[in-house]
Structure 1
């Protein structure tokens, strides 16, 4: 999982009502658990959809599958994201409105 925290994602200037530190910490708590790796990155180049999280699934036997989520701005959405990443399965209904792209790496849109 990549968590954007560059030019505008994760900033109080753009999203003053979001607890960016708590969100980062909740996602970083997943790192190493359930086979999840979490990295905080400078920019994922989708500033119009901040806060952006990229979830990359490396399920055995498949090419990596990317799920892009934007507007991850509140505690409930962050909690649902954490649960989904830990449990796997289909994207939960609550996160569908946040999805703005799913792509297979190296293969264009899935």
Structure 2
């Protein structure tokens, strides 16, 4: 399998949505991770951010772009193929009472 061209992936997604790139989302074992945010209309309709893991090929990128074009979270049903990429990120550790290290 050829290596993913990250710049091309960003370019393709930027054609349909605002794209922000970060070094780490604390789920490196799931890379490439995309978080698809709902539009304001999608959020009003009940859409929530959708985390997608292992988006490592052009086909998966195209599927994400097409879903965003259709409206994304809250406005368009997630295509079944993207359900294979969907995951719930782990919650960050919360500080215990009196423990300020993670505050």
Greater C-alpha Rg: 2
2:5 equivalent in structure 1: 19
Cα shift at 1:101: 2.1
Q: 1:28 aligns with which of 10, 14, 23?
A: 14
> Pairwise mapping of residues 1-110 of structure 1 onto structure 2 (< 5 A)?
17-30=3-16, 36-57=17-38, 58=40, 59=42, 61=44, 65-88=48-71, 89-101=76-88
Alignment TM-score, normalising by the size of structure 1: 0.65
Greater than 4 Å deviation, 4+ residue runs: none
Count of residue pairs the alignment pairs up? 83
Runs of 5+ consecutive residues of structure 1 not aligned to the other structure: 1-14, 31-35, 103-110
Gaps of 5+ in 2: 90-103
Q: TM-score, normalised by structure 2?
A: 0.69
CA pair 16-47 structure 1, distance change in 2 beyond 3 A: farther
